[in-house]
Chains A and B, each alone.
Chain A
């Protein structure tokens, strides 16, 4: 104990020489700062782990160009993506897409069954299309269409609300799809998806 602080100082100096918070040369900590220690999502920031590589890269470009403009993007991600070059965007997308996703499981249990029906079959009488038609039967996404399974309830709910209210028209079909979703349908859908475990990660 006598030289504890001296030893701690030396350990700190030694570790600092080991280099920055890098993964494959990327400043991953700039992302995990908000998206969680293991990129499983934290607070408002959604899970990145296991997300589709093409989707992540596209979204980074949409943030940087300010095409994606829903409620929180100008507040956080416009700044975060402002100085990323295309190659770094692609590399970050590849890194996070390769991480194993975990389900947030933070939705409302009692609404999950209703949400599953909407996801699988849509609500034809209300002009709500089946989500699985694009996002896959296990909500795993494909190519530039994002994985939805296991994303947090609060994130999914906010995104669907943004689209249903006409925010974020950055070139996706979602405003058209979501405008027919009532608040209760959104609640059910977000609840169900938050419990969907990670499925295969083939691209």
Chain B
């Protein structure tokens, strides 16, 4: 699921308009290169609206119907009397233990200074936010995240949006303009890549199921688009993403000398969802997709790898007075035409596919106690170049397979959903325990990467060895 040692085929782009880069550059105080992290119930939103976290969140960061509307209306609604600028901070820290300790060959934990091969207490995320109304109808959620284990600091998942109320077909609607750097970050439901369960997870697993391309683009592209939210019922969005040149990536914190993917041409992302509701019951059914073009590692001359993602998702939410139940499902099919990777020898097939499925549910009592359970599955066409031990590019699967699946369980406690007893009343915290069980990884359960070495030196890993227990705390100021 989470941070994977397995390096996927590279995807990249180039040619981002200078203006967009400049806008983002002005909005952040530091720059860097990170995988996106979730923004929790932000105290700046609570100060601005005068509402407690519980108004918008069943349990941070999962959204209630009003939380979704707050996002779709551009983070601009008020009601509070705070004069503090819309800034906030969040820290994610915890103790992680995997069933089998990491070994030097597979890392990455033992390869990072100060980390042990297991039983690590790690603060894995420190984020700063500018989150709230900028001016008038213009709002933003700008997130700068630092990873204390590496020292990297950079622009995390962020969006800026302007929303105008209009009338369409005799009904009220909101027309939004949105700029963001992570496809699906802008989505108001908790089904898709960025905000899907689990929103927080241990970042230091040795293995993980392969990401799909939408995941791989997170925080590495810039996009601008429009959306329409009509009659509290229909949501339609079209956003075009562009890649960042290598120079731009380095300006944003990519380590000089790295060979990040380059992404070519505009890459369209689309989203359509309907959310009828009956009383306190809300049902969303939607579809989404994206076309992207990548030059892996920025190695031109071999053509591009082309990806088509088409997904369907659904969410049912009961948002009652005392408790809430949220059930979510998302399935994304990815078709790949890997011209570049095939010619350059990092893929064995020109055409591959990868399917990602997530089904999960969350029960929350009074916005305070939550229990979540989820199933995740990835399956796709076997490809020796991409996954196989024999071909050697990413030697993780003895049967050349990306297939994997598992379960996630999460229990958490949020003591301050209705405000903290401290003078700083919008302080927020979530304390929890999460267990991730891997049933299959890379087409196998035991010894999925084959006997190419002895344990501790590569090979002979079992899916269950990746099982992870994480005791965590999310603190927001």
Contact = CB atoms under 8 A, between A and B. Distances in A.
A37 B137 contact: no
Interface stretch (A3-11, A129-137, A143-151, A178-186): A3-11
A42 B278 CA distance: 10
Interface string A68-95: 0001100110011011000000000000
A5 B224 contact: yes
Contacts of A37: 165, 171-174, 229-232
A27 B69 CA distance: 16
Interface string B224-238: 111001111000000
A38 B172 contact: yes
Given A8-B225, A16-B162, A29-B76, A43 B65 contact: yes
B54 interface: yes
Contact of B20 (A6, A20, A27): A6
A15 B232 CA distance: 23
Contacts of A15: 137, 162, 164, 177
Nearest to B265: A1
A67 to B, nearest CB: 19
Counting chain B residues whose Cβ lies within 8 A of the other chain, the interface size class is 35 or more
Given A106-B278, A153-B279, A29 B165 contact: yes
Nearest to A152: B279
Nearest to A15: B162
B280 A29 contact: no
B233 to A, nearest CB: 9
Nearest to A10: B19
Residue from A11, A19, A34, A37 with most neighbouring chain B CB atoms (10 Å): A37
Contact of B137 (A20, A43, A44, A83): A20
A30 B137 contact: no
B242 interface: yes
B77 interface: yes
Contact of B280 (A33, A82, A154): A154
Nearest to A11: B177
Contacts of B134: 16
A79 B165 CA distance: 24
Interface string A7-27: 011011001111111000001
A17 B162 CA distance: 11
Contacts of B253: none
A122 interface: no
A6 B277 contact: no
B228 to A, nearest CB: 11
Interface stretch (B78-86, B186-194, B461-469): B78-86
A65 B361 CA distance: 39
Given A8-B224, A16-B137, A37-B174, A154 B266 contact: no
A38 B171 contact: yes
Contact of A12 (B17, B162, B229, B240): B162
Contacts, number: 133
A29 B164 CA distance: 10
Interface residues of A, number: 41
A6 B174 CA distance: 22
Contacts of A11: 177
Residue from A9, A11, A75 with most neighbouring chain B CB atoms (10 Å): A9
Contact of B19 (A6, A34, A154): A6
Contacts of A40: 172
Nearest to A44: B280
B113 interface: no
Contacts of A20: 76, 135-137
B77 A30 contact: yes
Given A38-B171, A76-B55, A83-B81, A12 B136 contact: no
B66 interface: yes
B172 A18 contact: no
A79 B66 CA distance: 14
Given A5-B240, A21-B76, A43 B165 contact: no
B409 interface: no
A33 B240 contact: no
Residue from A12, A32, A75, A153 with most neighbouring chain B CB atoms (10 Å): A12
Contacts of B179: 5, 8-9, 12
B225 A33 contact: no
B79 A5 contact: no
A82 B23 CA distance: 36
A80 B65 CA distance: 17
A153 B278 CA distance: 10
A96 to B, nearest CB: 13
Contacts of B232: 36-37, 42
Nearest to A102: B171
B321 interface: yes
Contact of B177 (A12, A27, A43): A12
7 contacts: A3-B17, A5-B222, A12-B160, A15-B177, A36-B172, A37-B165, A44-B280
10 cross-chain pairs, A with B, having the tightest CB-CB distances, nearest first: A37-B172, A38-B172, A20-B136, A154-B279, A16-B138, A5-B224, A8-B224, A12-B162, A33-B77, A83-B81
